[in-house]
């Protein structure tokens, strides 16, 4: 079953609109920091602590904003963290409803095979490195494409438009360099 990309875009826009209207803007890159903090707190129980004023951390990043991230590490079942878990569950459910045996989902466009071949290890390495760079950049920018671009532009935030222009200004030339053949 193939869903029209226009219908998918409208549905995505509606979800973002409802989230902004009813709860808060969507942004997910911070939740990777929270997950890292949860794992680090298990390994080092002194990382995050509850104080009279709220929460604090020995890690400066988790301690910023008056311990806002430290609080999320100690209480991860908040809207944003559950939203990220629901995104993963939704992707899995979507794949299963489409009859996701993995064969079609693993196919890449011909341009990828033309440039990089059909080596699974190379494909996973490219995906990992690309994901790492995107997440690192998102944290440097103080948020991800869903927070800055999608939620930000929906709220007519100037920074959202600047972020979108910068993302495309960087992505198009990089894609042209990487995919020289085709």
Evaluate if residue 143 carries a pLDDT over 60. yes
Average pLDDT for 132-158? 82
Boundary residue ending a domain (48, 78, 100): 100
Evaluate if residue 47 carries a pLDDT over 90. yes
Evaluate if residue 144 carries a pLDDT over 60. yes
Q: What is the rounded distance in angstroms from the CA atom of residue 131 to the CA atom of residue 113?
A: 19
- Give 103's pLDDT tier (boundaries 50, 70, 90): low
Note whether 80 and 114 are same-domain residues: no
Provide the residue range defining the domain that includes 142: 104-182
Q: What is the average pLDDT value for the chain, to the nearest integer? A: 84
Note whether 94 and 108 are same-domain residues: no
Note whether 74 and 124 are same-domain residues: no
Boundary residue ending a domain (71, 100, 129): 100
- Which residue spans within the chain are E strands per DSSP? 48-50, 55-57
Sign of CA dihedral 103, 109, 111, 115: negative
Which position has the higher pLDDT, 108 or 68?
Answer: 68
- Give 135's pLDDT tier (boundaries 50, 70, 90): confident
Q: What is the rounded distance in angstroms from the CA atom of residue 73 to the CA atom of residue 67?
A: 10
Note whether 117 and 94 are same-domain residues: no
pTM above 0.85, yes or no: no
Note whether 13 and 55 are same-domain residues: yes
Q: Report CA-CA distances (Å) from 84 to 16, 166, 181.
A: 14, 25, 35
| Residues 56-78 pLDDT 10s | 999 998 888 888 889 999 988 88
How many folded domains does the chain comprise? 2
Going by C-beta distance under 8 Å and a sequence separation of 6 or more, which residues neighbour residue 52? Answer: none
């Amino acid at each position: 079953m193939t869903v029209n990309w226009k219908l998918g875009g409208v549905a995505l826009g509606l979800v973002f609109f409802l989230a902004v209207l009813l709860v808060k803007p969507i942004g997910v890159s911070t939740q990777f920091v929270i997950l890292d903090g949860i794992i680090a707190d298990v390994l080092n129980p002194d990382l995050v602590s509850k104080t009279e004023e709220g929460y604090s951390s020995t890690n400066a990043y988790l301690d910023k904003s008056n311990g806002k991230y430290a609080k999320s590490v100690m209480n991860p079942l908040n809207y944003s963290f559950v939203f990220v878990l629901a995104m993963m569950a939704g992707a899995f459910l979507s794949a299963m409803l489409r009859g996701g045996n993995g064969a079609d989902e693993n196919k890449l466009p011909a341009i990828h095979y033309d440039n990089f071949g059909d080596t699974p290890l190379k494909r996973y390495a490219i995906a990992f490195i690309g994901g790492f760079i995107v997440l690192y950049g998102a944290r440097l920018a103080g948020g991800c494409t869903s927070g800055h671009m999608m939620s930000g532009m929906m709220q007519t935030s100037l920074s959202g438009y600047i972020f979108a222009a910068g993302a495309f200004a960087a992505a198009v030339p990089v894609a042209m360099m990487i995919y020289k053949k085709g």
